[in-house]
Structure formats: C-alpha cells, structure tokens
Amino acid sequence: MARKIKIDNAIIKRRSHDEKKRLIGFKSKRMFYLIVCEGEKTEPNYFSSLKKSLPKGVLELTQIDIDGTGKNTLSIIEEAKKLRKRYEEKYLRKIDKVWAVFDKDSFPSRNFNNAINKGEHSRPKINCAWTNEAFELWYLLHFSYYNTGLSRHQYQKLIEKEINKASGKKGYKYTKNSTEMYVLLNLFGSQNFAISNAEKLEKLYNDRSFSNHNPCTKVHLLIKELKELTEEYAAQQQI
C-alpha cells in the first residue's frame, strides 16, 4: 500500500500565498495598449491579426477613418486623445501606451511633421508609428532591405515578387485589405529581419524633417514593445 505523504498546512498556505503574490505582481505590471489607425483596412487588419498572438486584454485596437488628401493629419492625434479618455472611463483603468499609426502618402508634408511633433509633446504622450511613404514598406522589410523611396504601388509589386519567390509558387496578388498579411509575412518573411532593416533605415536620418525621411518607418518600435510584452508574459507563466 502506498504511503501517504502528509504536507504541513502551513506549507500549503505559504505556497498559495506566494502564488497569489505572483499573480498580483504580474497583474500590476501588465501593460494596456491602444492603437489608433488612420488607414481604413491595411493597418487595422495587420494589428488585429497581431492582437491574437498577445495576452488577452493587453491591446485594444481602434480603427478610425480619416479622409486622405488635404485632411489635417493632426486630427488622428486629437482622436487618439479622445479614445484614450473614452477607454479609461469605460474600463476604469489607465491605458499605459497609446500609438497612432499613419502614413505620409496621403498628407501634406507640414501636416505630417506637425502630427508627429504634437504626438511627442502630448501629455500623456501619443506615440507615433508612422511610415514614409506607405505602410507596405514595413511589409517589404520582412524580406529585403530597401533604402530607395518608392510609391505604394511599387511596394505592392515588390511584396508580390517576394512572397511568390519565398513560397515557391506563382500567382500571388497583393490585396490592400487582406486579412492574411500578418500570417503571410511571418510564414515567408521574418519579423526580426524587418525590425533590423527598419533600424538601419532610421540611422540614415539625423534631422526632424520627417516628411523627407523616405523611406523610413517607426512601426518596428511598436512591434518591439509588443514582442517584449509577450515574452515577459510567457516568462511569468513559467515561474
């Protein structure tokens, strides 16, 4: 007959107390993000797919539609401020980080620069994951390093070429509103490579004339933060 091992109640209580402290500690460190996208589908679809890989509740993704040409880009910063307040009132907790995601291609240079500056000087800060010229640059960097300014259409053609090459098939056609891009990029490309390429592009510029930083993207800064968040969560689960 197997011998029963009796565990002291004090040990059980102490272990239970330690586990509660660990969970409370993680909960207090947990970061909550709000991402506000200027685009209609491209950026929201990408971040919606990325959201599925994050711990539940970390990311609230909000899509706002802004008229392209001639629309003052500053409106996305103002909208981000309003949404922060709305979410904090709704969930009765602080939103730790707000990111505004927008491109240069639709807006005048002055408005683009002003939006970035206004976001940086907002209190609390509105972080800007901007891309010059278009968000598709971030996609392309998953496959190759490009330091020549291109149009959105040219980016799209190169994305088709890269995915067809990596998949060993022909006939892939890029669709702007695809819900599969996040999966395709990580299947045939490399997110870490994209981050490395984006960092190389950053080093090409040392002034604040952001509208002239072409090509350039700051999307990798947001992606790196979200990756670190996921890694921290995974480490906590193993404790």
- Helix, strand, or coil here: 131? strand
Give the per-residue pLDDT at 62: 65
What was the pLDDT predicted at 5? 45
pLDDT in tens, 97-135: 999 999 998 678 999 999 999 999 999 999 999 999 999
CA nearest neighbour of 223 among 99, 83, 60:
99
- Residue 169 confidence (pLDDT) above 70: yes
What pTM was estimated for this model as a whole?
0.82
Give residue-wise pLDDT tens across range 40-82.
788 999 999 998 888 777 777 765 543 333 345 678 899 999 9
Q: Please give the single-letter amino acid code of residue 149.
A: G
CA 209 – CA 196 distance, rounded (Å): 22
Strands ordered across the beta sheet of 216-217: 59-63, 33-37, 97-103, 126-132, 216-217
206: left (phi over 0), alpha (psi -120 to 50) or beta: alpha
Q: What is the pLDDT of residue 91?
A: 85
Structure tokens at 9: 């109640």
The number of beta carbons lying within 10 Å of the beta carbon of residue 122 is 17
**What is the biggest distance separating any 2 CA atoms in the chain, rounded to whole angstroms?**
83
125 close to 34: Cβ distance less than 8 angstroms: no
Is 19 a residue whose pLDDT tops 50? no
> What is the spatial distance between Cα 236 and Cα 239, in angstroms, rounded to a whole number?
5
Query: pLDDT tens for residues 214-231?
Result: 999 999 999 999 988 877
The mean of the pLDDT values for the chain is: 83
H-helix or E-strand containing 150? none
**Which of 132, 43, 120, 39 has its CA nearest to residue 77?**
120
Q: Which residues of 163-176 are buried (b: 16+ CB within 10 A; e: fewer)?
A: beeeeeeeebebee
* Residue among 212, 215, 213, 69 nearest 139 (CA): 215
